[in-house]
Structure 1
Amino acid sequence: MLKILGKSSSINVRKVLWLCAEMEMSYEHEEWGSGYRSTEAPEFVELNPNAMVPVIKDGSLVLWESNTICRYLASRSQRSDLLPADPENRSRVEQWMDWQATELNNAWRFAFMALVRKSPAHNDPQALAISVASWNRHMQMLDAQLEKTGAYAAGPGFTLADVVLGLSTNRWYMTPMERPELPAVQSWFERLSQRPAFMLHGRNGTP
């Protein structure tokens, strides 16, 4: 059986848990990370040299990086609705997944650490202001995309792009800071909130 390693409050673990719930996929879950078993433990580092969650074990396969795990699980279940088989539509989904992991995540990192985690290492007001502005600017890019599609991040149907971006958007809404009104993002977020799996693992009170 599929095994998921990582604490259930982690934004990246929640991507995987949401997807599994969405696909009604059975799995075993082990809590690893802050407050649980240390990811610095030799047995965990052997699975992921980055010492970060999530990690999955599926038979002999060990896999890390949350977006890659999501791609694998959707492909494993032959869910072409979530990750299209044809190159053109698949690339649209993966484009927004990669944007989430590289551009959007980098934009919010300092602001989240300062405002939510209260990290002493993130107390520079100028750096905070830059991060908030960058985060909001990237969310405006997502708003423009959603206004264009009128539905979901990569087009008319729900895909993996919405899973990874939905978690990031929940974090944006839950971080105590000023943010612009983004009507397309708000409408999309409410559409996501009609999905029980998102309410269980995405919009569940954890930023």
Structure 2
Amino acid sequence: MLSQKEESGCPAGFLQANLYDKFYSDTKGVEYGVFPWYAEKIHYKTHTPYPEGMVLISKDKFYDFDIRSVARFYIVSNDFMSFCKELDVGIADAVAIQVLSKNGEIISSKSYNAVLFEELDARSETDPASTFIEEDGLIFRFKKLVLPPGFKRDLFKFKGLISGSNTLICSGAFKELAKGIKGVEFTPLESVLWSAVRPI
């Protein structure tokens, strides 16, 4: 599974950034939470396609990561996107974006995309040997995750989970291809301590 790794240009925790439909020189009067990419929550029934021309406006000074989440979508570099296209990765939507400072300056040498990954159902798409923490019949954390025989997806996540269980998980083939990406640590499923994961 993928966990945040803190290094130069790769902050840990939440990005100090929000995704807008276009660049605004003053974002104070713009309620970004009403944009569909924020307003459509975990249990959404439909997805409004991302428009062209979106801009991530950041308070951070410099980005060099290859993937970070913002709300339930991800900011993904072109390099990371190329790995997704080579392997079996379910992408519900993706669009190229600009990543800018509040003054409109480019803060990364990398090109980025806003990406929504398809999300799997933890009850139906895991092996029966998996164990969970549940409340009112809803799974919200893994105790132990075992993937079913013949599982083929190379990068994926499960919907409706919280904390470390809400991170992306990848195959060995994806990890091999993505060697050298910035801001990501890989941990084998057999040894993962879910409560210690800093989700991507």
TM-score for both structures, normalised by structure 1? 0.30
Of the two structures, which has the highest relative contact order with CA contacts closer than 8 Å and spacing of 6 or more? 2
Higher strand share: 2
TM-score for both structures, normalised by structure 2? 0.30
